[in-house]
Amino acid sequence: MVMKLDEFDIRLYEALQLDGRASMEDLARRVGLSRIATRARVARLIESGSMLVTGIVHPSALGKRSFAHLSIHVEGAARDVGRALVDMPDVPLVSIVAGRAALICEVHAHDLDELRELVGRICSTPGVRFAETAVYTERIKDLYAPPGTVVSIEIDDTDRHVLDLLRLDGRASFAALARATQFSSSAIRARVHRLIDAGVVRISTVLSPSVAGLQYACGFAVRLRAQSRAVEEIAAMNAVSYLSLTLSRWDAIGTVMAKSQADVVREMDRLRSLEGVKELQTWTHLEILKENNQLTEFKGRGAPKP
C-alpha cells in the first residue's frame, strides 16, 4: 500500500534532506509542529519504509576515483549479456533499456588503468558487440553520493565502521555509535563532524519512489553549447535525480524520474528546449538487473542511475 504524504511529511522530508541529523527541536521549528508530533512523524516515515535517513558516502573516500557509463550494443538476448555483467563486482548498475543500446551499466575503479581493464573485460563478454564509454569527470547531482571531490583526509578502520553504521542509520545517536565502536561519545562526535566537514559523508534522506509516485525512469545524454548555463539549469530541475559531466561525445549524462510517461515527455521537452542544449539522446529503463548502491537496506527502490 502506497503511503500518502501530507504537507507536514513533505516539509520534514525537505528539512532532513538539508540536514539529516537535525535535532527534533530544529525539525519541529521548521515544520511547525510540536517536538513530540515531529518525532512521531519521523518514526512513522522511517518504520513504514517510506523514507530512509542515511549517511551517503562519497565513492572516492572508499578508494573509487574513476567512473564510467557504458552503452552496450549486443548480439542476441540483452538479458543473457546483462546477467553475465551482473557477476562483475565493480559493475554496480546493469539495466536493460529501450534506446540505441540494449544495455547500460556503470563501472567503478580505483584509477584509469583499472577502469580501462574493466571496460575491456566487459567488451570481451560473449554477446557484446561494442560499448560506447563515457568517463565521468565531475558528479553534479546524485542521490547516492555527495557531489564534488573529497578533501584528502586519512580514513582508518574506525572511520569506516562509523560510515557503515551511518549508512544504515544516518540519525544514529553518538552514544549508539560509541557503544558500537567502543569509543567515547565525544571522540565519535569529533570523527563524525570531521567526516561531514571533509565531504566524505552527507547525512540526508531519500523517499521511496513508490511513495513519491515516481515509477518511470529515463536516462539522457546531452551535448552543450560552450559557455552556457545549461548544466546549472539541468541540475536545478526537480525531476533530474542524477547528473554527471563526462568525457565522451556527450558533455553530460543524467536520469529523470517521473510519475508518468507524459511527465517524462514533458521533462525531456524541457531539456531539449534549454538554450544551451545542442543535442539530446534518451533511453528508458525497462528492467534493472543489478543496482548496488548505499541504499540497499531501503525497503523501497532508489532511482536508477543513467
pTM: 0.73
C-alpha atoms less than 13 angstroms from C-alpha of 243 in its C-beta half-sphere: 20
| Domain annotation for the chain: domains and CATH numbers | 1-48 (1.10.10.10), 60-144+209-291 (3.30.70.3460)
pLDDT in the model for residue 209: 61
Residue 224 three-state SS: strand
- Whether residue 296 is predicted with pLDDT greater than 50 in this model: the reply is no
Q: Of 300, 303, 289, give the one whose Cα is nearest residue 94.
A: 289
Mind listing the pLDDT tens digit for each residue in 27-40?
Answer: 999 999 999 999 99
pLDDT in the model for residue 299: 33
Share of the chain above pLDDT 70, in %: 89
- Whether residue 289 is predicted with pLDDT greater than 80 in this model: the reply is yes
pLDDT in the model for residue 63: 76
Mind listing the pLDDT tens digit for each residue in 170-209?
Answer: 999 999 999 999 999 999 999 999 999 888 888 988 777 6
Of the candidate ranges 143-152, 164-173, 175-184, 279-288, the one whose mean pLDDT is the lowest: 143-152
Q: Which residue has 544551451 as its cell numbers?
A: 276
